[in-house]
């Protein structure tokens, strides 16, 4: 069975982000270009290939907009080369460890046929083919997304329809449409950090107490703990963990944040009393260095130094473990 045929979409993802729901169909064969694209590529390049994603707001240079180029501008062979080798100076990494040349060529052909040669309605994100039947029922939220109603507008100044739209935006749409193009200069200033973190204005903290954000079950796990008595090594590891590990494992080490809740297999919960590996610093170091096959845990040996990994392990052991770890 191929990797793609094993994929399971967790209910938490569907409920939180309203993401394509039951319409995500993965092909039986990993050589199916659409299945490869929808698993590895859409997060940055978008279902419609136009790169109108959160990644485009946070990456410099932004991901490629395939709809803005022609087949001659970006031939199949160049796409295949980029998929397999990555592109220096960008966030486009090599996928050679998870895709072979046939799969890379299949996804390159899919990009050509879907985004450069035809107006594929079934490739658009909010389309009936992608599960968004009667999309107009979300119309109250559209002004919050396109910026015609700034998010900074006081609650009491919003119409009844706009108030309904803001509730909908904050409890659903914000999971993906997190960078409204208001252009007013007075909207909330949001940090460029991992997109799994719900923003303070639209999660557990809100100026209007009547609003309860759907992100709150996840937001509580994206609040870093503040333990006392951390060693100097663990203190050095705290920002390293939050910048590199919390995206999947959550700021509180539980793996129960937005991203962690739909990854399969689930990211390790460092607070689980049954998890003994974290007490073995050497074993944990090896998994950080080399990753874990058949999971979302990548190798960090080319990203973090030995001292940084040591600091992260110290932070995990001193902050999350339910009992005293074995000393390094």
What single string gives the DSSP state of each residue in 154-217? Answer: -GGGS-HHHHHHHHHHHHTGGGT--S----SS-S-------TTS--GGGTT--SSTT---TTHH
Q: Max alpha carbon distance in the chain (Å)?
A: 61
Residue 57: the pLDDT is 67
Residue 245: the pLDDT is 92
Token reading at 238: 């705290």
Residue range 48-81, pLDDT digits in tens: 788 877 677 667 788 999 988 988 999 999 999 9
Residue 199: the pLDDT is 41
Distance CA 243, CA 97 (A): 24
Residue 154 neighbours by CB under 8 Å, 6+ apart: none
CATH superfamily of 4-128: Cytochrome c-like domain (1.10.760.10)
pLDDT band for position 135 (50/70/90)?
Answer: confident
Residue 101: the pLDDT is 93
Higher pLDDT, 288 or 122: 288
Token reading at 264: 């399969």
pLDDT at 122 over 50: yes
Range from 75-89, 124-138, 209-223 carrying the lowest mean pLDDT: 209-223
SS3 of 98-125: CCCHHHHHHHHHHHHHHHHCCCCHHHCC
Most confidently predicted of 12-21, 167-176, 198-207: 167-176
Higher pLDDT, 36 or 43: 36
Q: Tell whether omega for the bond before 112 is within 30 degrees of 0, i.e. cis.
A: no
CATH class of 232-319: mainly alpha
Higher pLDDT, 296 or 106: 106
The average pLDDT across 255-261 equals 82
pLDDT band for position 184 (50/70/90)?
Answer: very low
Range from 113-117, 175-179, 185-189 carrying the lowest mean pLDDT: 185-189
Q: Write down the pTM of the prediction.
A: 0.44
User: In which residue ranges of the chain is CATH 1.10.760.10 found?
Assistant: 4-128, 232-319
């Amino acid at each position: 069975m191929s990797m793609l045929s094993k994929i399971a979409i967790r209910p938490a993802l569907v409920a939180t982000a309203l993401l394509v729901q039951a319409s995500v169909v993965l092909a039986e064969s990993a050589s199916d270009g659409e299945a490869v694209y929808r698993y590895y590529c859409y997060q940055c390049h978008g279902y419609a290939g136009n790169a109108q994603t959160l990644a485009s707001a946070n990456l410099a240079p932004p991901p490629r907009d395939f709809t803005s180029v022609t087949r001659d501008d970006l031939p199949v062979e160049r796409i295949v080369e980029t998929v397999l080798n990555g592109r220096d100076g960008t966030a486009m990494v090599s996928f050679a460890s998870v895709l072979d040349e046939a799969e890379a060529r299949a996804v390159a052909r899919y990009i050509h046929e879907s985004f450069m040669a035809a107006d594929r309605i079934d490739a658009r994100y909010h389309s009936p083919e992608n599960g968004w039947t009667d999309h107009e029922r979300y119309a109250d939220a559209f002004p919050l997304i396109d910026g015609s109603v700034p998010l900074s507008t006081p609650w009491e100044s919003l119409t009844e329809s706009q108030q309904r739209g803001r509730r909908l935006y904050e409890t659903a749409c914000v999971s993906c449409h997190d960078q409204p193009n208001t252009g007013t200069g007075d909207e909330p200033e949001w940090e460029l950090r991992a997109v799994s973190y719900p923003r303070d204005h639209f999660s557990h903290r809100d100026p209007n107490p009547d609003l309860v954000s759907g992100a709150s079950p996840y937001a509580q796990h994206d609040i870093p703990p503040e333990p006392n008595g951390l060693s100097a090594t663990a203190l050095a590891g705290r920002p390293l963990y939050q910048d590199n590990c919390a995206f999947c494992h959550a700021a509180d080490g539980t793996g129960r944040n937005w991203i962690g809740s739909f990854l399969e297999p689930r990211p390790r919960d460092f607070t689980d009393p049954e998890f003994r590996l974290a007490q073995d610093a050497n074993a944990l170091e090896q998994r950080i260095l080399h990753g874990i096959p058949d999971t979302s845990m990548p190798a960090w040996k080319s990203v973090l130094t030995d001292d940084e990994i040591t600091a992260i392990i110290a932070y995990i052991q001193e902050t999350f473990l339910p009992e005293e770890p074995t000393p390094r």
